Amino acid sequence: MTDPVATPVAYSVRDGVAVLTIENPPVNALSQGVRAGIIAGLDKADADPAVSAAVIIGGGRTFIAGADIKEFGKPPLQPYLPDVLKRIEAMTKPVVAALHGTALGGGFEVALTCHWRVALESGQVGLPEVKLGLIPGSGGTQRLPRLVGPKIALDLILSGNPMTAKKAAELGAVDEIVSGDLLDGALAFARTVVAEQRPLRLVRDMNDKVSNVDPAVFEEIRKASARKAKGFLAPWRCIDAVEAATKLPIDDGLLKEREYFFECMGSPQRAAQIHAFFAEREAAKIPGLPEDVKPKQIRSAAVLGAGTMGGGIAMNFANAGIPVKLLDVSQEALSRGLGVIEKNYATSVARGSMKQEAMDRAMKLITGTQHFEDIGDADIVVEAVFEEMGVKKEVFGKLDKVMKPGAVLATNTSTLDIDEIAASTSRPQDVIGTHFFSPANVMKLLENVRGAKSSPETIATVMALGKTLKKVAVLAGNCDGFIGNRMLHGYLREANFLLEEGATPQQIDNALEEFGLAMGPFRMSDLAGLDVGWRIRKGKAHLRPKDERYSPVADRLCERGRFGQKTGAGFYKYEGRNALPDPVVEDVILASAKEQGIERRVISDEEIVQRCMYPLVNEGAKILAEGIAIRPGDIDITYLFGYGFPVYRGGPMFWAEQIGLDKVLATIRGFHKIHGKFWEPAPLLVQRAEAGKGWNDR
Ligand code: COA
């Protein structure tokens, strides 16, 4: 590894300036070889009397995009990043960082340690560590506040999002924006610095912006972060570290930062968030597709059904700059749908999250129609009509007649059989499920569902579509509920059973929100509307075995016209959006428990979490074994992006592994004894747990 010939840092000298070019594709991550290579290059430059300055630049598409995430969790290899930074600061000659692409994390920290920074206008800088459950660990929390002040620094660090080099230049974090060739610009800058004999400028020596900072600043930031950072460790340590920058001399601050960094590095949250990072990228890769298969170009789209879902889906296309026709046979529904879209955009503009011009552009891309003939030339059509097989089949029959050959015919069904829908066309190879999540213009998950006959090209097209629409696409197999909703079934079942056994809706919601879910099951059901589930349950009632336990609580609420938030009452009563406990609901629960002879007892929050979450794991294991999900990570991604599962737990499958599959199985077996067949352990879980292995271990 330390073989100098193999170093991924190329060294050359251009007119007296040493150029260190990082060549570590794809993103020039700071692997051990890069760290060693930078030190070796700087040693050489410092020792060479013919060299007056050094430039550090990235080869390929980017400057350094951060630490090598693949090294995390493994024993650290020398030299460490702080050693590299110490070497930069010890240079007797100017060092200029030349930034393009994404200078992120450790990459930006390298740049912040150089004497000067120049960048292409298109470049971006950022400290995304918080997204990986970490804090910037090599001076980012100490140097950035010295350049831009603690408040702006924390904005960047807590969001984890990059900012443009132009913005960084305005704020003083970048010294010059270069137009034209980056290396030429950086060399010119270095020569000027040398010619002007500018004293070497180290950020560590700049103390103005971190002196006399009112501690109230940090209290305010803590308050403002309370909701978003709830349950996370890293954001709080980011704030602590930046606060330390305002209180301690830099070397002590750096030590404090390192201490917090290692605390985060050792936490299960870091492992979970890094799992999520790689699982998200892995989900895009579909094994078994022929190598040469190419996604079809999507230049135009159509959406059927102008309801909430259809409207949201149309907004997705428009946001991506793709013209979209929204079709609804009812003029009234169409006008209403278009009105809702306009209102949604206007809200974003009013909130400042969208510019008026962007709204105008998006609205121009959406046109309404009542006629199937108008949509025939679209590259893809997404059906989002009433969730009933008869209706879907009729619609797909029509699509088969009007759509041009090769168009992708997608259905947004959340439960129905894709193959049956495909069979109502003469081109099942073009039919596929694209399950969006409500609100479709907000939720990041796209659960694509392949039918038995969906062609590789159709699959590749909808996976690529996920990226185009800035979503995370996961590929599921065809079964009732696919990945996400199939797993949700057991979760909701147990939540309802727990009501009868002694818990209240608020206790269950609170316990699961404390666990980290964005919203507990009853608040979520009330928001989604209870009537849809009621209708589905009534439709399937005849299939339910008579001896199977069934909670009628939700049905009884619906019988009283309580459909959730939209009717002002469901599992709660509502004052505006405020969910309040309702004695009527308690009566319904008590009556149901009594009828079934269930003796109510005190239920712990721990039991609530296990009873509601372990069904996800058990069903997840079945889904994996059946090949409905390709990888456990795909299940995790589905829950992280579609169901508000806390990212710091990595998703249900990863979370179960962190607990230990053997422990999860033992608890499930305990529930099986008490509660019967719903808790039959999944064979894959038994097999993995008994072998002492994780999901992926061989
Ligand atoms: N370490 C190791 N591998 C990394 C990496 C890192 N810091 N950043 C990206 N990669 C890998 C990805 O896993 C992916 O590998 P794959 O092709 O085998 O799946 C490849 O580089 C390309 O990344 P991808 O995210 O698909 O490309 P992109 O162009 O959409 O985005 C980045 C590029 C750099 C913006 C994005 O990858 C990113 O945000 N990376 C994380 C940066 C970070 O957090 N750095 C701080 C670490 S402390």
Q: What is the pLDDT of residues 184-243, one digit of tens each?
A: 999 999 999 999 999 999 999 999 999 999 999 999 999 999 999 999 999 999 999 999
DSSP track, 311-360 = HHHHHHHHHTT--EEEE-S-HHHHHHHHHHHHHHHHHHHHHTSS-HHHHH
Residue 194 three-state SS: helix
**pLDDT attached to residue 3:** 43
Q: Separation of 652 CA from ligand 1 center, angstroms?
A: 24
Q: How much distance in Å is there from the Cα of 59 to the middle of ligand 1?
A: 16
Residues in Cβ contact with 695 at an 8 Å cutoff, skipping those fewer than 6 apart: 624, 632, 653, 657, 661, 688
Mark whether 342 is an active-site residue. no
Catalytic one of 71, 109, 219, 626: 109
CB 608 within 8 A of CB 498: yes
Cα of 125 to ligand 1 centre, how many Å? Answer: 14
Residue 75 CB burial class (10 angstroms; 0-12, 13-18, ≥19): exposed
Q: What is the CA 269 to chain-centroid distance, rounded?
A: 15
How many residues make up the chain in this entry?
698
Report which ligand 1 atom has the smallest distance to the Cα of 136: 48
The tokens of 244 are what? Answer: 């330390």
69 CA closest ligand 1 atom index? 1
Distance 162 CA to ligand 1 centre (A): 13
φ, ψ dihedrals at 284, nearest 5°: -75, -15
Protein residue closest via CA to atom 31 of ligand 1: 27
* pLDDT higher than 50, residue 1: no
| Strand order from edge to edge, sheet including 9-14 | 9-14, 17-22, 53-58, 95-99, 116-120, 176-178
Nearest CA owner, ligand 1 atom 33: 27
How far is residue 375 from each of residues 291, 323, 397, measured CA to CA in Å?
32, 11, 14
Name the residue of 61, 64, 69 to mutate for ligand 1: max ligand atoms within 8 A of Cβ. Answer: 69
Distances (CA, A) of 360 to 73, 309, 313, 355, 368: 48, 21, 17, 9, 16
The closest residue, in CA terms, to atom 9 on ligand 1 is: 27
Query: Do the beta carbons of residue 97 and residue 110 sit within 8 Å?
Result: yes
Atom of ligand 1 nearest to the CA of 65: 34
Q: Are 314 and 300 in contact (CB under 8 A)?
A: no
| pLDDT tens readout for residues 639-655 | 999 999 999 999 999 99
Among protein residues, the one whose CA lies closest to atom 44 of ligand 1 = 128
Q: Name the burial class of residue 246, with classes exposed (0-12), middle (13-18) and buried (19+) by CB atoms within 10 angstroms of its CB.
A: buried
C-alpha of residue 71 to centroid of ligand 1, in Å? 13
User: Is 109 annotated as catalytic?
Assistant: yes
Span from the CA of 429 to the centroid of ligand 1 (angstroms)? 33
User: Quick one: pLDDT band at residue 6, thresholds 50, 70, 90?
Assistant: low
- Please give the DSSP secondary-structure letter assigned to residue 404: P
Alpha-carbon span 451 to 87, nearest angstrom: 57
Residue 61's CB is within 10 A of a number of other CB atoms, namely: 13
Per DSSP (E only), the strands in 162-307 are: 163-164, 176-178, 301-304
Of the listed ranges 3-12, 549-558, 605-614, the least confidently predicted one is: 3-12
- Beta-carbon contacts of 383 under 8 Å, excluding residues fewer than 6 positions away, are 303, 304, 305, 392, 395, 396, 399, 409, 410, 411, 412, 413
- From the CA of 119, how far away is ligand 1's center (Å)? 20
Confidence band for 540, pLDDT divided at 50, 70 and 90: confident
Contact 46, 82 (CB under 8 A): no
* Atom 22 in ligand 1: residue holding the nearest Cα: 26
Locate tokens 């199977």: which residue?
548
> Relative to the CA of 278, which ligand 1 atom is closest?
13
Please report the pLDDT score of residue 387 as a whole number.
85
**Distance from the alpha carbon of residue 327 to the mean position of ligand 1, in angstroms:** 39
pLDDT tens by residue, 433-491 = 999 998 898 899 999 999 999 999 999 999 999 999 999 999 999 999 999 999 999 99
Ligand 1: which of 22, 24, 27 to mutate, judged by most atoms within 8 Å of the beta carbon?
27
CA-nearest residue, atom 19 of ligand 1: 281
pLDDT of 397 higher than 70: yes
* Sign of the alpha-carbon torsion through 25, 30, 34, 39: positive
Among the atoms of ligand 1, which is closest to the Cα of residue 132? 44
- Residue closest via CA to ligand 1's atom 35 equals 102
> Measuring CA to CA, which residue among 279, 255, 375, 365 is closest to residue 319?
365
Could you identify the residue written with the tokens 């008490």? Answer: 674
| Residue 277 Cα: closest atom of ligand 1 | 13
> What phi and psi, each to the nearest 5 degrees, are found at residue 378?
-70, 145
State percent of the chain over pLDDT 70.
Answer: 99
d(CA 578, CA 105): 40
Tell me the mean pLDDT in the region 94-120.
98
Which residue's alpha carbon is at the smallest distance from atom 25 of ligand 1?
A: 281
User: Checking phi first, is residue 206 left (phi over 0); if not, alpha (psi -120 to 50) or beta?
Assistant: beta
- Which residue's alpha carbon is at the smallest distance from atom 34 of ligand 1? 65
- Confidence check: pLDDT of 115 > 70: yes
**Which atom of ligand 1 sits closest to the CA of residue 281?**
19
Q: What is the DSSP string of 461-520?
A: HHHHHHHHTT-EEEEE-SSTTTTHHHHHHHHHHHHHHHHHHT--HHHHHHHHHHHT-SS-
Q: Which atom of ligand 1 is nearest to the CA of 284?
A: 19
- Name residues contacting ligand 1 (CB within 6 A): 26-27, 29, 65-70, 102, 104-106, 128-129, 132, 281
- Centre of ligand 1 to C-alpha 104, Å, is 10
φ and ψ of 282, to 5 deg: -65, -35
Distance 135 CA to ligand 1 centre (A): 17
- Percent residues over pLDDT 90 in the chain: 93
Mean pLDDT for the stretch of residues 251-267: 97
Nearest CA to ligand 1 atom 20: 26
Tell me the CA–centroid distance for residue 466 and ligand 1, in Å. 18
pLDDT at 2 over 60: no
What mean pLDDT is reported for the chain? 96
Distance in Å, CA 27 to ligand 1 centroid = 6
CA-based diameter of the chain, in Å? Answer: 92
Among the options 129, 494, 501, 607, which is catalytic? 129
Local confidence band at 363 (pLDDT 50, 70, 90 cut-offs): very high
Q: What would the two tokens of residue 528 be?
A: 């989604």
Render pLDDT for 278-310 as a digit per residue (tens, 0 to 9). Answer: 999 999 999 999 989 999 999 999 999 999 899
The 10 Å Cβ neighbour count of residue 396 is 24
CA of 640 to the centre of ligand 1 (A): 19
Ligand 1 atom with minimal separation from the 131 CA: 44
Query: What does the pLDDT read at residue 490?
Result: 96
The pair phi, psi for residue 691, each rounded to 5°, is -85, 0
> Phi, psi (5° rounding) for residue 58?
-95, 135
Find, among 239, 235, 66, 245, the residue nearest to 144 by Cα.
245
Q: From the centroid of its chain, how far is CA 128? A: 13
Ligand 1 atom at minimal distance to the Cα of residue 282: 19
At residue 427, what are phi and psi to the nearest 5 degrees? -140, 65
Closest CA to ligand 1's atom 26: 281
